[in-house]
Amino acid sequence: MDNMGSYATINEEIEDICFNRFGYPHEWPTHGECPCCGSDRIRYFFSKFKLEHWICRSCKFIFVNPYPNSAAIEAIYNASYYPAVRRYIEIPRAKNELQDISMSTSTKIYDEIISYLTERRKNDGNWLDVGGGIGSFLSFVQKRNPGFDLFLNEMNSESRSFAQDHYGLKVLSDPPETLFSQGLRFDIITILSVLEHISHPLDFISRYGALLNKGGIILVSIPRFSRLNMILSKSGSNSAAPPYHLSLFNEKNIHILFEKVKIFQLIESWQSGPKAFSLTDMMQVGEYFDIEIPQQEMDAPRCMQVRPYTRFQDKVINKLAKYDHQLEALLTRIDGKLLLNIAAVR
């Protein structure tokens, strides 16, 4: 069901879907153990938009708990925000052949990922991109390495239609267990800016890992919830974005997750993108802002402040913003970069 236009802002959408329609928190399922490592040593950590985040004391994985069920997830991703971004931002940019199409991953990161994979695999074989939206990433692969047989695994029908009609991609709508039963296997599987949206990441990676050929590579790119994010930012970090982002990873727990799948022979990770931590995040004022749902073509959704700062907050935030710029290189060296990439060979 497409409810585009029924909500004016993201906060309005979250409030209605999560609380009014799906009865958060009492009607949402809960995790009794860590969905990354399986430990039962979990506890409440912080809330954002009134949605609780818990942390695993064993592996420091942070996750939304309670979490949305499949019906709530379908409502969230077919309400106003995501269809509007696709229709009014990403599709027009793709039609105009602009470089930066995706709202979540830059072309520079695309190039890094493609280079990494093609250096390790011959330039042919089957390549599956999971949750790839309108196909913007695979269009880059198509242009740079035309020898691959490219497949897009996407659940949204509008995105699938555009990817097929505009880019000529092969599109698959079935879940991984159905693809497995159909005998489909792949040499490369990419999962970019998707795993953070998944409530049960171990099961998700296990099911897609089963689709790899022997020697095949699966590559995941996610926001990295760094040590300073965990200690100082918490809800102030933009990576904490419930009910869209349900899982927040660091290097340690993403390696634990891949190791628990038990089919991978080699696992390595690296960071990319801008710094993970900003000094202004310490003020934890993310809930002072809202995002308008696009109603017409534009470059990006408009962010607006819905709650004023106090004079003290305003003064401190301006100071922190100044120091954040001056200390950018030091903060990057101390705490690392925003994006966490992990690749594993079967």
pLDDT tens string 90-111:
999 999 887 666 656 778 899 9
- What pLDDT is attached to residue 106? 79
pLDDT digits (tens, 9 = 90+) for 56-93: 999 999 999 999 999 999 999 999 999 999 999 999 99
Q: Is residue 242 part of a domain?
A: yes
> Rounded distance, CA 107 to CA 137, Å?
8
Q: Is residue 244 part of a domain?
A: yes
Q: Is residue 207 part of a domain?
A: yes
Q: Is residue 294 part of a domain?
A: no
Q: Is residue 298 part of a domain?
A: no
Please state, for a pLDDT cut of 70, what percent of the chain lies above it.
Answer: 97
Q: Is residue 50 part of a domain?
A: yes
- Give how many domains the chain has, as a whole number: 1
Question: In 10 A of CB 305, how many CB atoms?
Answer: 10
- What pLDDT is attached to residue 124? 86
User: What is the extent of the structural domain holding 203?
Assistant: 10-283+326-345
Using a 10 angstrom Cβ sphere, with 0-12 exposed, 13-18 middle and 19 or more buried, the burial of residue 128 is buried
Alpha helices in 152-276 (DSSP H): 157-167, 176-181, 201-209, 227-228, 251-261
Among 131, 133, 134, 137, CA closest to 201: 131
Cis status, amide bond into 223, omega within 30 of 0:
no
The CATH number linked to 239 is 3.40.50.150
Residue 269, helix vs strand vs coil? strand
Q: pTM of the prediction?
A: 0.94
Bridge partners of residue 247, in order along the sequence: 63
Beta carbons of 134 and 156 less than 8 angstroms apart? no
Q: What is the DSSP letter of 121?
A: S
